[in-house]
């Protein structure tokens, strides 16, 4: 699957000072919250996006429904707000790139009914919103009906389901209100909307684009972090002294630059190989448009028992020959011994690595095996040495990262070094099979140590013994 760059929208452009800063720094994608914009609109004249934003800026309009939830509005107030929002969208539809529906915390019947008001507008720009607690059946219907879908941050398991839908349909997934957009999985979202870029200027946080990664630091580390990256700020073309002095404009300029570097590095899916068929979207190979995660359960039918067996262990019969307790000779005893099971329920569509796995295949079981057997000492030592080598590779990679970041001591590297030393000691103890006796003897100088330990007679024997046979003599005295 080929990829293109994800679009990261800077939210907060309804505020004039932030809008001006985003325009000066040539931010290509901006987002507006209608709830925050509405009080700023003039009462006696029309306010249009085309007159307030450059032509080359793409605009994502948010309904502000999450903000209205805190106001405890009546149904009539929600409907009045929706009317104003629809009018604003209609007036500016040609200037908008995307706009979300109005999805307050009301009953689903009202939300689904109000979607009818958007039917006369450009459906390619409409972004219906699905919330995780609304369930999979509604998700299925929305994917079949719409090209775009907006979602707030969701749990990792739900991300896996959405990843499957994105791969197998023409769905464009839009991440809304992401506090940490740099943690979003690559290849899942077409756009991300976030206002976190404002945090450094408002709350004193620090973000740094360092070695192809955006790092975020809390406000209480501001002085230390900004001093450490002083040279980096200068090399990026910004006034490091102003950033260290907490100049809000310079901090904002650098933050926008850092986020744009992150945006350029992020990936989004390219669905050029998919086509529309009716209301659903299906791949050109003709496979089903929408298949949510599922699997066929394993069952065992023995003696009429159809209960499902956990696919963790297999039980293999092992025959042991033992003396016959009832008479002469021997008898065989068959016991069931646990082994790692061969059944594997991992499915590509629900796998956490689906986005990056090179062997991904929709509606398929995992293509990888994980053979592991530890039944004797050689197999055990092989696994242990492999784990040591794995940890050694992690340490080397972490050390390389530390060097590329200017050599500042990395706490993660120190932690991995400590873990490696503990692992080494554990392997050494497991490998050591020596039998030994350690004796601590304490006595006065005038008394013979051997006499005190073994008695006078045996001590004399030890003194006379051939030195080459000393070890055997000591062992005999212990018998």
With respect to residue 302, please indicate whether it lies within any of the assigned structural domains: no
Q: If you search the block for the tokens 């068959």, which residue do you land on?
A: 334
9 phi, psi to nearest 5 deg: -100, 125
Name the token pair of 205: 């946080």
d(CA 383, CA 37): 61
Please give the average pLDDT of every successive group of 10 residues along the chain, which has 479 residues: 73 94 95 94 90 95 86 88 94 96 86 88 93 85 90 84 80 88 79 93 91 86 92 93 94 94 81 45 39 37 61 78 80 80 72 70 81 84 92 92 83 92 90 65 52 59 56 55
In a 13 Å sphere around the CA of 355, the CA atoms on its Cβ side amount to 21
- The pLDDT, as a whole number, for residue 368 is 86
- DSSP letter (8 states) at residue 148: E
Name the token pair of 247: 């100049």
| pLDDT tens, residue by residue, 109-143 | 888 888 889 988 899 999 999 998 888 888 888 88
Instruction: Name the domain count of the chain.
Output: 1
Q: Are 13 and 33 in contact (CB under 8 A)?
A: no
Cα 164 to the center of its chain, rounded Å: 16
Facing residues of 217 across strands?
A: 206
Contacts of 64 (CB under 8 A, 6+ apart): 33, 34, 35, 36, 38, 85
- DSSP letter (8 states) at residue 98: E
Q: What does each C-alpha distance from 115 to 53, 103, 119, 352 come to in angstroms?
A: 28, 10, 7, 33
d(CA 7, CA 172): 12
Q: Which residue from 203, 200, 207 is spatially nearest to 260, judged by alpha carbons?
A: 207
**Rounded to the nearest 5 degrees, what angle is found at the Cα of 148, between the Cα atoms of 126 and 170?**
145
Residue 16 domain boundaries: 3-283
With respect to residue 318, please indicate whether it lies within any of the assigned structural domains: no
247 phi, psi to nearest 5 deg: -70, 115
With respect to residue 467, please indicate whether it lies within any of the assigned structural domains: no
Q: What sign results for the dihedral spanned by CA atoms 354, 356, 361, 364?
A: negative
Contacts of 283 (CB under 8 A, 6+ apart): 168, 273, 274, 275, 362
Name the token pair of 89: 């969208």
Helices 136-145 and 156-168, packing angle to 10 deg: 30
With respect to residue 77, please indicate whether it lies within any of the assigned structural domains: yes
With respect to residue 324, please indicate whether it lies within any of the assigned structural domains: no
In the chain, what is the straight-line distance between the N-terminal and C-terminal CA atoms, in Å?
75
CATH of the domain at 115: 3.20.20
- The pLDDT, as a whole number, for residue 288 is 36
- The pLDDT, as a whole number, for residue 133 is 85
- The pLDDT, as a whole number, for residue 295 is 34
With respect to residue 22, please indicate whether it lies within any of the assigned structural domains: yes
Name the token pair of 127: 């972004």
With respect to residue 233, please indicate whether it lies within any of the assigned structural domains: yes
d(CA 367, CA 358): 10
In a 13 Å sphere around the CA of 252, the CA atoms on its Cβ side amount to 21
Name the token pair of 45: 């004249």
Q: If you search the block for the tokens 């929706």, which residue do you land on?
A: 82
Residue 193, classed as helix, strand or coil, is strand
Q: Which residue from 183, 141, 197, 184 is spatially nearest to 11, judged by alpha carbons?
A: 197
Question: Model's pTM, two decimal places?
Answer: 0.61
With respect to residue 382, please indicate whether it lies within any of the assigned structural domains: no
- The pLDDT, as a whole number, for residue 289 is 35
């Amino acid at each position: 699957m080929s990829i293109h760059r994800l679009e990261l929208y800077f939210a907060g452009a309804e505020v004039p000072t932030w809008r001006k800063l985003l325009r000066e720094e040539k931010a290509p994608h901006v987002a507006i919250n209608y709830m925050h914009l509405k009080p700023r609109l003039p009462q006696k004249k029309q306010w249009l996006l085309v007159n307030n934003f450059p032509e080359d800026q793409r605009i994502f309009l948010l309904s502000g429904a999450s903000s209205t939830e805190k106001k405890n509005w009546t149904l009539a107030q929600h409907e009045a707000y929706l009317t104003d929002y629809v009018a604003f969208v209609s007036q500016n539809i040609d200037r908008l790139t995307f706009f979300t529906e109005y999805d307050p915390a009301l009953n689903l019947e009202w939300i689904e009914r109000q979607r009818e008001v958007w039917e006369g507008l450009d459906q390619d720009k409409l972004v219906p919103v699905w919330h995780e607690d609304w369930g999979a059946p509604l998700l299925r219907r929305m994917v079949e009906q719409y090209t775009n879908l907006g979602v707030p941050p969701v749990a990792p398991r739900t991300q896996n389901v959405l990843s499957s839908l994105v791969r197998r349909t023409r769905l464009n997934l839009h991440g809304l209100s992401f506090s940490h957009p740099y943690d979003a999985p690559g290849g899942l979202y077409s756009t991300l909307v976030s206002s976190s870029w404002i945090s450094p200027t408002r709350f004193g946080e620090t973000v740094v684009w360092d070695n192809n990664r955006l790092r975020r630091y809390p406000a209480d580390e501001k002085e230390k972090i900004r001093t450490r990256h002083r040279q980096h700020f200068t090399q990026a073309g910004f006034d490091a002294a102003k950033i260290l002095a907490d100049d809000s404009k310079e901090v904002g300029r650098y933050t926008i630059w850092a986020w744009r570097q992150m945006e350029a590095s992020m990936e989004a899916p390219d669905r050029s190989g998919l086509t529309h068929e009716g209301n659903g979207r299906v791949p050109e190979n003709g496979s089903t448009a929408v298949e949510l995660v599922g699997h066929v359960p394993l069952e065992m039918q023995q003696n009429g028992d159809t209960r499902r067996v956990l696919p963790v262990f297999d039980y293999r019969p092992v025959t042991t020959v033992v003396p016959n307790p009832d008479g002469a000779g021997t008898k065989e005893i068959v016991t069931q011994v646990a082994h790692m099971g061969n059944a594997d329920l991992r499915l590509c569509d629900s796998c956490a690595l689906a986005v990056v796995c090179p062997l991904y295949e929709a509606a398929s079981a995992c293509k990888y095996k994980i053979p592991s057997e530890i039944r004797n000492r050689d197999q055990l030592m092989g696994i242990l040495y492999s784990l040591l080598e794995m940890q050694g590779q992690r340490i080397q990679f972490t050390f390389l990262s530390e060097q590329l970041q200017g050599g500042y001591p990395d706490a993660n590297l120190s932690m991995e070094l400590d873990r490696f030393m503990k692992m080494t000691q554990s392997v050494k103890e497991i490998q050591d099979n020596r039998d030994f006796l350690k004796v601590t003897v304490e006595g006065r100088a005038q008394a013979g140590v051997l006499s005190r330990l073994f008695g006078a007679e045996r001590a004399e024997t030890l003194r006379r013994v051939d030195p080459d046979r000393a070890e055997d003599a000591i062992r005999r005295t212990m018998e």
